[in-house]
Structure formats: structure tokens, C-alpha cells
Amino acid sequence: MLETTERRSLARPVEFRASDSGPGTLVGYAATYNRYSQNLGGFVELVMPGAFAKSLADENPVLCRYNHDDNWLLGTTAAGTLRLLDDNTGLGYECDLPDTTAGRDVAVLARRGDVQRSSFAFRTIEDDWDVTEQGFPVRKLISARLFDTAPVNTPAYLDTSSAVRSFSEKYDVEPAVFEAATPEEIRSLIQGEHIDIPAVEARQEQEAEGQRATHPDAATLRRRLEFEEFDAPAGR
């Protein structure tokens, strides 16, 4: 099982529903099924129906937090203030906003339409790799543990380290090979074809050298400064 927590964001709007008993309710989708994500760095992702079955069946709590921030807790499945709904579109959620500063603030933002996206945090349990009809690499998320849903202002950071690890283990290559490979080379590995791995590794090293030259680390900068001070003409 891959243990890295990942986050993804959806462009689907968050709906606000007014309530007489509290600040209101947020309604949205934590994930949508059978829809390709944006390019995540040489591959796209596809969440398969049933991917969150374990999260729906067990008693491990799922949270709803604004911008994934613990200080902005909005609801939990344990308390029944967050409800997960599985349908043909994806994994939906309804969150009854609390009568707290966080809940009231989010209600105002959602009512005005300032909150436009939902994000979800998860850990991969099972995935697989394939290619799209256009030949682009695709990671299929078959089973995952859902940790939280989150209305967000901006898309969450797309952490793909779990995907890199998954691919590296399945196709027996170093993570650096995946990170430096082109989509065509990734597709070739998925389809069982040969690629020139030493050439990919060399390209990755060249890119790393270029980055170090453009953005030298602190030790390099310190050595440069020491050299400049040593080599400076007297009276400078």
C-alpha cells in the first residue's frame, strides 16, 4: 500500500444551501468518476467507481476542513455533520456548517460564490497504469482511503509522489527515470516496450545540473562569495 497522502482539486462548483438551524450546508463532489484529470506531470489520473468504498464502509472518520486547515474544521462523518454520497457521478458530500467563526465565515464566502472548488485528500490503496485512446499515460485509482473533503479558494498542491512510487515499483525503474521520462517513454514502459533508461537518467542529470547552475545552493553561493572576497583588489 502506498502511504503518501495526496490531494486533488475539482473544478465543479460548491453549492451553498441556506438553513434555519445553522449557517447553512455545503454540497459538492469530493471526486468524480471516469473523468480524466488535468496533466499531472506526464500522465493523467482516472478515479474509478468504487474507489472510496472502504471509506464509506468503515468507521474511520472523514473530515471536512476549509482549505485542509485543522483550524477550520467544518464537519465530520463521525458526528454526522459530514455525509458522503456515492452515485454515478462520483463521491459527493454534504457538510452542515457549524455555528462557529469558521462556519459562519465559510457560509458568507460560499453564499457570495467566492468558494469555487472542492479538494480531497487520500492515500492510495490500489492503482494501475494504462494509456488513453490518444496514447497518453493514465493512472487509474482503483481503491483509496479518503481523509478529508475541503472547500478551497485555490487548487490544492498536486502531490504526485505516490504515483511516482507506484509506477517505479510496478515497472522496476528508479523514480528519477519516471520524473525525467517523456509521456511517450512512460507509455512505452506501460506497453512493455524498451526505452533507453541510461539516456533518460543522463537527461535528468543534465536538467539537474542546469537547475543548480541557475539556482545555486547555499554552499555554492557561500563559496562564490568567499572567492570574490579573496580575489577582490586591495582598496575595493
pLDDT category, 89, cuts 50, 70, 90? Answer: very high
Tell which residue, 61, 24, 49, 59, has the closest CA to residue 149.
61
Within 8 A by CB and 6+ apart from 23, the residues are 97, 98, 99, 103, 104, 106, 107
Cβ–Cβ under 8 Å, residues 9 and 155:
yes
Residue 236 has pLDDT above 80, yes or no: no
Give the strand pairing for 117-131 and 5-10.
antiparallel
CA distance 14 to 114: 10
Q: What percent of the chain has pLDDT over 90?
A: 40
Q: Enumerate the β-bridge partners of residue 175.
A: none
Domain ranges of the chain: 5-157
Tens digit of each residue's pLDDT (9 = 90 or more) over 103-162: 999 999 999 988 888 888 899 999 999 999 888 999 999 999 999 998 888 765 567 788
- Work out the widest C-alpha separation in the chain, in whole angstroms: 79
What is the enclosing helix (H) or strand (E) of 145?
strand 137-152
What Cα–Cα distance (Å) separates residue 147 from each residue in 30, 62, 68, 73?
11, 5, 10, 13
**pTM of the predicted protein model:** 0.76
Smallest CA-to-CA distance from 47 within 13, 82, 6, 4 is with 6
- Going by the DSSP 8-state scheme, the letter that residue 132 receives in this structure is -
- Residues 178-218 pLDDT 10s: 888 888 989 999 998 888 888 888 877 776 666 656 665 56
